Amino acid sequence: MAITKSDVKVLGMWPSPFVMRARISLNLKSVDYEFLQETFGSKSQLLLQSNPVYKKVPVLIHGDKPICESLVIVEYIDEVWASGPSILPCDPYDRATARFWAAYVSEKWYPSLKGIGAAQEEEAKKAAVEQVEEGLALLEEAYEKSSKGKDFFGGDEIGYLDIAFGCFLGWLRVIEKLNGVKLLDQTKTPGLVNWADKFCAHTAVKDVMPETDKLAEIAKILAAKLRGAAAPPK
């Protein structure tokens, strides 16, 4: 039975790197889907019904079945639309390695990147920048091993770790722009610099990767809200 666009929906917000993971995966598999935008500061009834545990995006709705959590969604897409290019590596060791680094990026590296923007003092910012750079050095090594001299972590085509890590490139550029730092550097991480250019130019990615200036405006709004929340009451 043919799957129509209305059978596949993604609940999300365009600036979210985690929502990008689902969208890139669907694009990679050439699956038509409907993108349902959530509004900042509120949660739709559909979102609350679809993800009552975490109450957050992204949610993939396939038919009437909701699937939650970005990397779970990526794996689901890979299994359901098996005729398209494989996202997860076929080899069990390579698959485990990709999952390991995807978890590292989500749970350790990305929080460090956010820490640069959240730092109030120069010393804290410097420490956060060092953490991010250390992580990028590790990922540079992982890229060299995983890519085996090809364009992507997944080899000739975008794979699981490309999607898991690449979704943060828009926010990395924003952090660089707003904080006057250079994180992806041709002298320190030449492999990742070239990889990032190829990833962002890929047909599955280029239409969903947010423009840096547009994303920077969102970052300024979020930062102002955080400062307001942290300010002592008058």
Domains of the chain, by residue range, sit at 5-80, 92-215
3 has pLDDT over 90: no
pLDDT tens-place string over residues 88-120: 999 999 999 999 999 999 999 999 999 998 888
* Per-residue confidence (pLDDT) for residue 229, from 0 to 100: 61
pLDDT tens-place string over residues 10-31: 999 999 999 999 999 999 999 9
Integer-rounded Cα radius of gyration of the chain: 18
- The superfamily CATH assigns to domain 5-80 is Glutaredoxin (3.40.30.10)
* Per-residue confidence (pLDDT) for residue 1, from 0 to 100: 43
| CATH architecture observed for domain 92-215 | Up-down Bundle (1.20)
- pLDDT band for position 223 (50/70/90)? confident
Mean pLDDT, the chain, integer: 93
